[in-house]
C-alpha cells in the first residue's frame, strides 16, 4: 500500500469535499423534513461515531453541546472494539494520537493538541464523574473494558471549567452502562492466542436498578514475552424515587492485571526481527491492582434547581520491572502505591424567565486527597537487592477547586458561555527521609468564555478562549522555586455544518501557548522547558450518501514549538529554542466507510495514518513514527446473536508504533514495533 505521508495529499482530497459541503448544501430552516437537529439541539457542535444514547438527567446542555471541539464514541462502536486496552478505542476520534509503548502495564497513552503523551500529563480522565488520573498525572483507563462502556466524550481545548488538575489540553469523560433489563455476553478468540470474554447483566424494577459486569482478556502478544492477562468486575446499584426527584447509588470495581514486557528494539533489531524481545528484558513486566468505590446522589429541589453529589475512594498498587537499555547495569522496579479519595458537589439552576430563551447557572466544588508512595529499587529478576531502594518518595496532596459558570441561550441563534474557576493545592513530601512542603502556588485562576452563533439552522459558528494550568510532578511541586505552575492560554474558532440528516462537517483552528511548561524526563523528574507555542487545524466529516452507507474521516495538523526556554534554563534546554517539540506527529488522519444492511450484515473499513515526528528536542536526528494501517470489521446479526470477524492491519504494514531517544548516554533511537496482520472471530449473545 502506498503511504500517504504528505499532508497536502490528504488535504487535496478532503478540503474540497468540506468546502462543497459548506457552500453548496442548502441551509435548512425550522422543522423541514431534512432537518437533523431539533430546535433545542441547534447549537450542538460535536461529532459522533456510532449510536449515542444519553439516559441520565443532563439538563438543557450536555458535555457534547459545549462551544468547542467535542467528539463522542457510542456504545455501538465500543461493543465491537477488539483492543488490549480501552484507551486504544480513542484512536478513531479526530485529533487523537496514540503512542503504543507496549511495555507491559505501561501500554501506551493518547494525547491531543500537540502534547507529548510520553512526557506530559495533559488530559484529565473522568469515569462516571470520578477522576481517574494517577498522582503522576497519567490517565488510568486500564480497569475499563470497552464492552461495559456506554459512550466516551472527548473535549479538546482549554474552555471547559469542570476540571482543574490535568485538564491542560482537554478531558475524556467515560460513561459506563447502567440500568435496563437485558443480558449480553461476548466471546472472542484470534491471533496471538488472544481470548476475551465479557458479560453484562442489567435488571431494573420499581425504581431499583442493578448492573453487573465481568470481563477477562488474555493474549500472548505479537512479540515474544509480551503476554497480557487482565480481569475486571463491577457492580452498580441505584434507586430512583417514584417522583423521579431523588436518585442514589453506588459503584464498585475491582481490576487485576499481569503483563510482560518485550523491551524496546534498535532499528537494526527491528529490521532483523520485530517479533523478538530485547535480550536483557526476559523478566521485565508488571502487575497492577485497582479497587474503586463511589457513591452518587442527585436531587431535584424544583424543576429548575438540581443538585449532584459524588464521593469516592480508590486504591492502586503497581509494580513494573524494567531494564530499558544495555547501559542499565541492573533491572529496577518502579513501585506505586496510592489512595485517592474525594468529593464533588454541583448545584445547577436553570430558567427561561430572565429575558433570555434559556439560562443555566452552575456552582461546583471538588476536593481530592492523594496519599502516594513511589519507589525505584534495584532488582535481579524481579527480586529486590538488599540495598535496592535508591528513590523513595512518600507524599500527600490536597486539591480544592471551585467554579461558577453561566450558559446563556440568548435566542435561537446566539449562545454565550462564561466561567471562572479557581484551584488551590497543598501537601507535604518526604524524599529519602527528608520532608518538605508543597510550593505555594496561591490561587490559580482560570477564566473561560465561549460563543455559538447559528445564523441559520444547521450552521454553527463557534469560538472559545480559556486558561488552564499545569503543575510539576514529584519534587517539582515541593519547595522548588524553578517550578512555578504553567499557565496555558488557548483559543479556538470554527464552524460546524449539519444542514441535512446525511451530512455533518466541522472545521476549526486553534492555538495554545504555555509558560514554564513542565515535562517528565526518563528518570520521572520534572523538567521546565520554558515557553511553548502550539497551533493547528482540524477537519471532521461524516457523509451518508445512502441509508446503508456512512463515510467518515478526520484530519488534524499540529505545530508545536519550543519558543523560549528562559534566561536561567540549563544549557541543554536553551538549545531547544525554535525547534519542534519531540514526539508530536505532524498530522493524524482517519478515514472510514461503514456499511449496514437491513438484512443484518454490517462492515467497517477504516484507515488510520500518522505523520512523523522528531525524536530529540534538538531536531538533529531523522524523524520517525509515521505509519498507515487499515482495519476491517465484519458483522452479521441474527436477532439475539451477532457474529463478528475482525482483521487488524489488513495490508500487513510493517511499522513502529512508537520511537524515542533515551536522554542518557549515547544510546540509539529505540522502537516499539506495531502488530502484524491479525485475525479474530467473535460472537455476542443478547438475552
Residue 176, pLDDT > 80, answer yes
pLDDT digits (tens, 9 = 90+) for 354-397: 999 999 999 999 999 999 999 999 999 999 999 889 989 999 99
Q: Decide: 116 and 108 in contact? Cβ < 8 Å.
A: no
Q: Vertex 417, ends 45 and 425: CA angle to 5°? A: 110
Residue 5, pLDDT > 50, answer no
Strands 170-176 and 149-156: antiparallel
Mean pLDDT score across all residues of the chain:
88
Which pLDDT band, with edges at 50, 70 and 90, does 182 fall under? very high
Which pLDDT band, with edges at 50, 70 and 90, does 568 fall under? low
Q: Which CA distances in Å does 479 have to 162, 253, 472, 517? A: 28, 36, 11, 17
- Which one has a higher pLDDT value, 97 or 61? 97
Which residue shows C-alpha cell 538533529? 620
Grid coordinates belonging to 230: 487482565
Which pLDDT band, with edges at 50, 70 and 90, does 56 fall under? very low
Q: How many CB atoms lie within 10 A of CB 618?
A: 12
Mean pLDDT of 47-58: 51
Q: What is the pLDDT of residue 327?
A: 81
pLDDT digits (tens, 9 = 90+) for 638-662: 989 999 999 999 999 999 999 998 8
Q: Which pTM does this prediction carry?
A: 0.92
Q: What is the pLDDT of residue 572?
A: 73
From 111-120, 418-427, 535-544, the region with the lowest mean pLDDT: 111-120
Q: Which CA distances in Å does 63 have to 40, 71, 439? A: 15, 10, 33
Q: Decide: 514 and 531 in contact? Cβ < 8 Å.
A: yes
Grid coordinates belonging to 306: 438540581
Q: Which CA distances in Å does 451 have to 38, 159, 218? A: 19, 11, 47
The single-letter DSSP state of residue 148 is G
Q: Vertex 131, ends 489 and 407: CA angle to 5°? A: 55
Q: What is the pLDDT of residue 208?
A: 98
Mean pLDDT of 605-634: 95
**What is the distance between the alpha carbons of residues 238 and 216, in angstroms, rounded to a whole number?**
25
92: left (phi over 0), alpha (psi -120 to 50) or beta: alpha
Q: Which CA distances in Å does 424 have to 120, 368, 388, 397? A: 21, 11, 36, 11
Residue 595 burial by Cβ neighbours in a 10 Å radius (0-12, 13-18, 19+): middle
**What is the distance between the alpha carbons of residues 217 and 229, in angstroms, rounded to a whole number?**
6
Residue 73, pLDDT > 80, answer yes
Q: Report CA torsion sign: 659, 665, 667, 672.
A: negative
Grid coordinates belonging to 27: 441551509
Closest CA to 620 of 656, 665, 669, 657: 669
The single-letter DSSP state of residue 223 is S
Q: Decide: 576 and 565 in contact? Cβ < 8 Å.
A: yes
Which residue shows C-alpha cell 517528565? 520
Which pLDDT band, with edges at 50, 70 and 90, does 545 fall under? very high
Q: Decide: 77 and 49 in contact? Cβ < 8 Å.
A: yes
Q: What is the pLDDT of residue 229?
A: 98
**What is the distance between the alpha carbons of residues 521 and 663, in angstroms, rounded to a whole number?**
8
pLDDT digits (tens, 9 = 90+) for 468-499: 999 877 667 876 555 688 999 999 999 999 88
Which pLDDT band, with edges at 50, 70 and 90, does 524 fall under? low
Residue 505, pLDDT > 50, answer yes
Grid coordinates belonging to 513: 501557548
Residue 65, pLDDT > 70, answer no
Q: Which residue spans within 147-181 are E strands per DSSP? A: 149-156, 170-176
Closest CA to 558 of 538, 579, 576, 541: 538
Among 7-11, 102-106, 667-671, top mean pLDDT goes to 102-106
Q: What is the pLDDT of residue 43?
A: 47
Q: Decide: 346 and 312 in contact? Cβ < 8 Å.
A: no
Closest CA to 615 of 670, 537, 566: 670
**What is the distance between the alpha carbons of residues 246 and 462, in angstroms, rounded to a whole number?**
35
**What is the distance between the alpha carbons of residues 319 and 375, in angstroms, rounded to a whole number?**
9
Q: How many CB atoms lie within 10 A of CB 664?
A: 13
Task: Spell out the domains of the chain, with CATH numbers in brackets.
Answer: 7-686 (2.40.170.20)
Residue 32, pLDDT > 50, answer no
Q: Is 28 helix (H, G, I), strand (E, B) or coil?
A: coil
Closest CA to 319 of 343, 339, 342, 336: 336
Residue 549 burial by Cβ neighbours in a 10 Å radius (0-12, 13-18, 19+): middle
**What is the distance between the alpha carbons of residues 55 and 604, in angstroms, rounded to a whole number?**
26
As beta bridge partners, residue 553 has: 541, 591
Segments in 168-320 forming alpha helices (H): 267-272
**What is the distance between the alpha carbons of residues 399 and 343, in angstroms, rounded to a whole number?**
11
Long-range contacts formed by 433-441: CB under 8 A, 24+ apart: 433/392, 436/478, 436/479, 437/478, 437/479, 438/397, 438/477, 438/478, 438/479, 439/477, 439/478, 439/479, 439/480, 439/481, 439/483, 439/484, 441/471, 441/484, 441/485
Which pLDDT band, with edges at 50, 70 and 90, does 42 fall under? very low
Which pLDDT band, with edges at 50, 70 and 90, does 547 fall under? very high
**What is the distance between the alpha carbons of residues 237 and 201, in angstroms, rounded to a whole number?**
12
Strands 46-49 and 69-74: parallel
High-pLDDT (> 90) share of the chain, %: 74
pLDDT digits (tens, 9 = 90+) for 401-423: 999 999 999 999 999 999 999 99
Q: What is the pLDDT of residue 484?
A: 80
Q: Decide: 429 and 35 in contact? Cβ < 8 Å.
A: no
Which pLDDT band, with edges at 50, 70 and 90, does 311 fall under? very high
Mean pLDDT of 548-568: 90
Q: What is the pLDDT of residue 166?
A: 94
Amino acid at each position: 500500500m502506498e503511504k500517504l505521508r504528505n499532508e497536502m495529499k490528504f488535504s487535496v482530497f478532503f478540503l474540497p469535499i468540506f468546502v462543497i459541503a459548506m457552500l453548496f448544501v442548502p441551509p435548512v430552516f425550522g422543522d423541514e423534513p431534512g432537518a437533523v437537529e431539533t430546535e433545542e439541539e441547534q447549537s450542538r457542535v460535536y461529532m459522533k461515531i456510532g449510536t449515542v444514547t444519553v439516559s441520565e438527567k443532563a439538563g438543557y446542555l450536555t458535555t457534547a453541546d459545549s462551544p468547542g471541539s467535542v467528539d463522542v464514541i457510542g456504545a455501538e462502536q465500543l461493543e465491537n472494539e477488539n483492543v488490549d486496552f480501552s484507551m486504544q478505542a480513542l484512536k478513531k476520534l479526530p485529533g487523537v494520537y496514540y503512542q503504543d509503548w507496549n511495555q507491559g502495564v505501561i501500554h501506551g497513552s493518547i494525547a491531543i493538541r500537540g502534547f507529548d503523551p510520553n512526557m506530559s500529563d495533559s488530559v484529565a480522565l473522568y469515569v462516571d464523574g470520578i477522576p481517574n488520573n494517577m498522582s503522576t498525572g497519567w490517565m488510568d483507563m486500564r480497569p475499563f473494558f470497552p464492552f461495559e462502556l456506554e459512550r466516551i466524550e472527548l473535549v479538546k481545548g482549554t474552555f471547559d471549567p469542570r476540571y482543574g488538575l490535568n485538564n491542560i489540553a482537554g478531558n475524556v469523560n467515560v460513561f459506563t452502562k447502567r440500568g435496563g433489563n437485558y443480558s449480553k455476553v461476548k466471546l472472542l478468540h484470534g491471533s496471538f492466542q488472544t481470548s476475551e470474554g465479557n458479560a453484562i447483566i442489567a435488571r431494573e424494577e420499581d425504581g431499583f436498578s442493578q448492573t453487573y459486569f465481568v470481563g477477562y482478556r488474555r493474549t500472548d502478544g505479537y512479540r515474544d514475552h509480551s503476554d497480557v492477562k487482565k480481569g475486571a468486575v463491577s457492580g452498580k446499584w441505584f434507586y430512583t424515587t417514584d417522583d423521579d426527584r431523588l436518585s442514589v447509588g453506588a459503584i464498585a470495581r475491582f481490576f487485576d492485571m499481569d503483563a510482560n514486557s518485550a523491551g524496546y528494539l534498535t532499528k537494526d533489531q527491528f529490521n532483523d526481527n520485530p517479533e523478538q524481545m530485547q535480550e536483557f528484558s526476559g523478566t521485565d513486566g508488571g502487575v497492577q491492582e485497582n479497587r474503586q468505590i463511589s457513591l452518587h446522589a442527585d436531587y431535584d429541589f424544583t424543576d429548575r434547581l438540581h443538585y449532584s453529589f459524588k464521593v469516592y475512594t480508590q486504591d492502586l498498587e503497581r509494580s513494573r520491572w524494567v531494564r530499558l537499555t544495555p547501559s542499565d547495569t541492573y533491572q529496577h522496579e518502579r513501585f506505586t502505591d496510592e489512595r485517592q479519595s474525594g468529593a464533588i458537589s454541583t448545584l445547577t439552576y436553570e430558567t427561561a424567565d430572565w429575558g433570555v430563551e434559556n439560562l443555566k447557572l452552575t456552582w461546583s466544588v471538588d476536593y481530592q486527597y492523594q496519599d502516594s508512595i513511589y519507589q525505584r529499587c534495584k532488582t535481579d529478576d524481579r527480586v529486590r537487592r538488599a540495598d535496592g531502594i535508591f528513590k523513595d518518595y512518600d507524599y500527600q496532596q490536597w486539591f480544592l477547586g471551585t467554579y461558577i459558570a453561566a450558559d446563556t441561550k440568548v435566542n435561537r441563534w446566539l449562545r454565550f458561555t462564561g466561567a471562572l474557576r479557581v484551584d488551590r493545592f497543598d501537601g507535604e513530601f518526604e524524599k529519602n527521609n527528608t520532608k518538605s512542603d508543597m510550593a505555594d502556588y496561591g490561587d490559580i485562576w482560570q477564566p473561560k468564555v465561549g460563543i455559538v452563533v447559528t445564523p441559520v439552522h444547521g450552521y454553527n459558528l463557534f469560538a472559545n478562549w480559556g486558561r488552564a494550568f499545569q503543575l510539576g510532578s514529584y519534587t517539582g511541586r515541593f519547595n522548588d522555586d524553578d517550578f512555578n505552575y504553567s499557565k496555558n492560554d488557548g483559543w479556538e474558532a470554527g464552524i460546524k455544518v449539519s444542514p441535512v440528516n446525511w451530512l455533518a462537517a466541522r472545521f476549526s483552528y486553534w492555538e495554545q501557548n504555555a509558560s514554564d511548561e513542565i515535562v517528565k524526563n526518563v528518570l520521572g523528574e520534572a523538567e521546565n522547558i520554558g515557553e511553548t507555542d502550539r497551533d493547528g487545524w482540524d477537519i471532521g466529516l461524516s457523509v451518508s450518501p445512502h441509508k446503508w452507507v456512512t463515510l467518515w474521516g478526520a484530519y488534524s495538523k499540529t505545530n508545536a514549538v519550543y519558543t523560549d526556554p528562559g534566561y536561567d534554563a540549563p544549557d541543554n534546554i536553551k538549545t531547544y529554542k525554535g525547534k519542534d517539540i519531540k514526539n508530536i506527529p505532524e498530522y493524524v488522519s482517519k478515514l472510514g466507510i461503514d456499511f449496514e444492511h437491513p438484512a443484518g450484515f454490517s462492515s467497517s473499513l477504516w484507515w488510520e495514518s500518522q505523520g512523523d515526528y522528531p525524536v530529540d528536542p534538538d531536531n538533529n536526528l531523522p524523524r520517525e513514527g509515521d505509519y498507515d494501517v487499515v482495519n476491517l470489521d465484519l458483522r452479521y446479526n441474527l436477532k439475539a446473536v451477532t457474529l463478528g470477524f475482525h482483521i487488524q492491519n489488513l495490508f500487513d504494514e510493517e511499522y513502529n508504533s512508537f520511537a524515542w531517544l533515551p536522554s542518557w548516554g549515547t544510546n540509539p533511537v529505540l522502537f516499539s514495533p506495531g502488530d502484524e496482520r491479525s485475525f479474530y472471530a467473535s460472537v455476542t449473545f443478547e438475552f
